[in-house]
Amino acid sequence: MGQYNDIVEQQRLLLKAEEWAEGVKCLHAHSLDSMAYASDRDDGKVLDIEYNSGRVVREILATGEKIEFGEILEGERLIWAYQEHH
């Protein structure tokens, strides 16, 4: 049974990392057009919600429209990011 310990541990870490990924990393209300993840946009006043997974949800405050940006971490990259922050 010992041969499965590494596989079980990897799956345990992945499940924890996936739960962590849904957490909010930061909120940023601004009217800048120089954010790295959306440098080609000029949306006016916005609220950006950045998640631990790398996903960013932008709400344009004038219209309520929501747009998603970012590179979403998965698999090994997500586990590495999770371990880096824990």
State pLDDT tens for residues 65-74. 999 999 999 9
pTM of the model: 0.86
pLDDT category of residue 1 using cuts at 50, 70 and 90: low
Tell me what the mean pLDDT of segment 72-79 comes to. Answer: 96
Using the structure block, give the residue that is written with the tokens 């979403």.
72
* Domain layout of the chain by residue ranges: 23-84
Between CA 53 and CA 43, with CA 65 as vertex, the angle to 5 degrees is: 85
Residue-wise pLDDT tens digits, 14-42:
999 999 999 999 999 999 877 787 878 88
